[in-house]
Structure 1
Amino acid sequence: MSVPLYEAKAELFRLLGHPVRIRVLELLQDGPMPVRELLASIEVEPTGLSQHLAVLRRSGMVTAQREGATVVYALAGGRVAGLLRAARELLTEKLTGQSELLSELLEDNAGSGTS
């Protein structure tokens, strides 16, 4: 029996629900990176990073290629970068709305003489 689409989507978002995984994906948008560079860019223990990379690899979000003693990770495709862009756009819209609301509140407080 197959999983309903909404459950598959929920599983995808659960997979992306950790800041380290999001940061790894963001870093890989600039191109493939060896593990040592990822470690230098993310404050996480090597074993923790290894576990997150394994989750991303199993899910098909990233690929891993061995180059000698070094393992280099890359995004599995352009759709992952597109998903990250969409998230950035949604957050920009949300924060813009909050900024506008804050401005209105500050104007109301200044006009009423209250703080």
Structure 2
Amino acid sequence: MGLIRDLMAQPGVLAAGEYSYRGDRFSYEGNLTREMARMASIMCRATHMGVHMECDILGVFCPGCGLVPSRGWAVRGPRFSVCVMANFFCILENRDGVMNAVLKCMHESLDEVAIDMV
């Protein structure tokens, strides 16, 4: 997939991948073992489904607030961050500008992707 390669070309990206919405398939590139990538794809899918549900609930209480439909999520730890949009994930270093570049790349590539399968 072109997006995975585009993400891997970004400075500070450690791994990038894609998971199926059903949770039975994934692909990835980067500095992860296959088992680590499998666990990352499961975690990203499960978290994405939870975030999607929570945004839908919030959207009921604040119609037009801009949370619905949810397109993705990001979480930042002490050294690394994870960004997910549609069914793609990216694991990156916490350095200045890295997350902005990754989110821009994902947004530009996935802006037109249907998210109704989430």
TM-score (norm 2): 0.28
- Normalized per residue, the structure richer in helix is 1
TM-score (norm 1): 0.28
- Normalized per residue, the structure richer in strand is 2
- Higher Rg of the two aligned structures: 1
Structure scoring higher RCO (CA < 8 A, sep ≥ 6) equals 2
